[in-house]
């Protein structure tokens, strides 16, 4: 039980729902009034200073004052931010205008800790939503105002460090992209005049994974399309297990150096590619193509090309939809044009990437520790 007084949000905040002006009336749009939607909030959102769209004063909507806590109440429930300026919002929010009893940054942190709980309060058959009445009746612990500020400052300090680590990782990823262009040139224009071939020319084996389902206690770890990140990394979060007959092992087992290509996904994510760098054998699902390169290219070079802006644009342009999903088959993949630079240059680039990955790994370990610290603070103050 909390050592602090429990209060209803409706007793310490004014809860206001947003609205959307008529899209059929151009006079209500493209003015200088900020207007935010839930789609503009992410898990990392904190203070929103501007919005993607603006409306006219003619819309006559009630503005939320600077400092209002924005809580998305549907599609999705539980995204939180603070208005860094006066603004309006659509009906996907329940806005919390704080009274003098509650510090808005404290309220932001406590709502961030309650995403799962907020979703459990959702009502509706077509899509879940939390109503104004539900939000008003949510109870939270309310320490003295100076204690709220102190708690918020602690969270803010850890959040700043987390943000810095994420920025460092992003900068290292950009550094690798920049180095690729520096060494090999733009894949579109091929300014260095490298030999041009197709992926078919640089591979000696291309295999699909298995369509067998995952099973509890399976013999092999089972890689699926969600285990390949958009940035070209292998993410073993949520790993499943599988059993397959011995006769299928050779086809579906991946080994160190294999290029893994996600052939079916949404149009934005189809073609996610990574290099399998582990010594442990695993099984790939049917939505993944296993590619083994020949002596003409290194796996890292091929993966980097497919994850480049050129690669992603090429894949989006060629993929076709099957039952709402985009798909690229093995033959189409092998028909993609690719520059084939000298192996010594590819090796030099690979050495650079491996050194960069070491730095990134150290930063990622620090990031994990900070995120664990943040979670512990959530449990300590709001659990």
What ranges in 13-144 are assigned the alpha helix state H? Answer: 104-112, 115-120, 132-136
Is beta strand 253-254 parallel, antiparallel or unpaired with respect to 240-242?
A: unpaired
The CATH number for 195-340, chosen from 3.40.50.150, 1.20.810.10, 3.90.220.20, 3.90.79.10, is: 3.90.220.20
78 secondary structure, DSSP code: E
Task: List pLDDT tens digits, range 193-230.
Answer: 999 999 999 999 999 999 999 999 898 999 999 999 98
Q: pTM for the full model?
A: 0.84
- Return the higher-pLDDT residue of 268 and 362: 362
Task: List pLDDT tens digits, range 295-336.
Answer: 999 999 999 999 999 999 999 888 876 566 889 999 999 999
Percent of the chain whose pLDDT exceeds 70: 98
What ranges in the chain are assigned the alpha helix state H? Answer: 9-12, 104-112, 115-120, 132-136, 145-184, 246-252, 299-307, 309-318, 330-334, 343-382
Domain 5-143 has CATH 3.90.220.20: yes
Structure tokens at 50: 């501007």
At 122, is the pLDDT very low, low, confident or very high (cuts 50, 70, 90)? very high
The structural domains of the chain, with segments of one domain joined by +, span 5-143, 144-183+342-383, 195-340
At 1, is the pLDDT very low, low, confident or very high (cuts 50, 70, 90)? very low
129 secondary structure, DSSP code: B
**116-135 core/surface letters (b: 16 or more CB in 10 A; e: else):** eebeebbeeeeebbbbeebb
Q: What is the mean pLDDT of residues 362-382?
A: 95
Q: What is the mean pLDDT of residues 150-172?
A: 96
Supply the pLDDT for residue 334.
Answer: 96
- Within this chain, domains 5-143 and 195-340 share the same CATH topology: yes
Nearest to 240 by CA among 272, 214, 276: 214
187 secondary structure, DSSP code: T
Mean model confidence pLDDT for the chain: 93
**In whole angstroms, what is the distance from residue 6 CA to residue 141 CA?**
4
Q: What is the mean pLDDT of residues 86-108?
A: 96
Element (H, E) at 198: strand 195-198
pLDDT(269) > 90 = no
Facing residues of 15 across strands? 96
Supply the pLDDT for residue 321.
Answer: 64
């Amino acid at each position: 039980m909390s050592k602090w007084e429990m209060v209803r949000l409706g007793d310490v905040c004014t809860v206001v729902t947003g609205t959307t002006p008529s899209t059929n009336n151009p006079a209500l749009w493209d003015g200088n009034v900020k207007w935010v939607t839930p789609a503009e909030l992410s898990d990392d959102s904190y203070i929103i200073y501007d919005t993607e769209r603006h409306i006219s004063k003619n819309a006559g909507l009630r503005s939320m004052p600077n400092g209002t806590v924005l809580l998305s109440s549907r599609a999705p429930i539980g995204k939180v931010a603070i208005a860094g300026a006066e603004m309006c919002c659509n009906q996907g929010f329940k806005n919390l205008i704080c009274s003098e009893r509650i510090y808005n940054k404290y309220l932001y942190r406590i709502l961030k800790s309650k995403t799962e709980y907020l979703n459990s309060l959702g009502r509706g058959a077509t899509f879940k939503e939390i109503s104004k009445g539900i939000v008003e009746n949510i109870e939270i612990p309310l320490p003295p105002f100076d204690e709220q500020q102190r708690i918020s400052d602690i969270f803010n300090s850890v959040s700043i460090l987390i943000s810095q680590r994420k920025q460092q990782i992003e900068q290292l990823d950009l550094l690798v992209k920049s180095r690729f262009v520096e060494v090999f040139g733009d894949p579109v224009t091929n300014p260095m005049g490298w030999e041009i071939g197709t992926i078919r020319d640089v591979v000696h084996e291309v295999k699909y994974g298995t369509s067998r389902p995952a099973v509890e206690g399976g013999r092999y770890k089972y890689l699926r399309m969600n285990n390949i990140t958009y940035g070209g990394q292998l993410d073993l979060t949520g790993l499943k297990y599988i059993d397959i007959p011995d006769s299928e092992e050779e086809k579906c087992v991946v080994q160190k150096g294999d290029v893994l290509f996600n052939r079916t996904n949404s149009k934005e994510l189809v073609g996610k590619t990574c290099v399998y760098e582990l010594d442990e054998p695993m099984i790939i699902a049917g939505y993944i193509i296993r590619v083994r390169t020949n002596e003409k290219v290194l796996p890292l070079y091929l993966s980097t090309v497919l994850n480049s802006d050129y690669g992603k644009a090429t894949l989006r342009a060629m993929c076709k939809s099957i039952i709402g999903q985009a798909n690229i088959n093995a033959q189409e993949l092998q028909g993609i044009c690719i520059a084939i630079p000298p192996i010594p240059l590819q090796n030099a680039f690979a050495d650079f990437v491996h050194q960069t990955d070491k730095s990134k790994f150290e930063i990622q370990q620090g990031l994990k520790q900070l995120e664990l610290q943040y979670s512990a603070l959530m449990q300590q103050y709001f659990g």
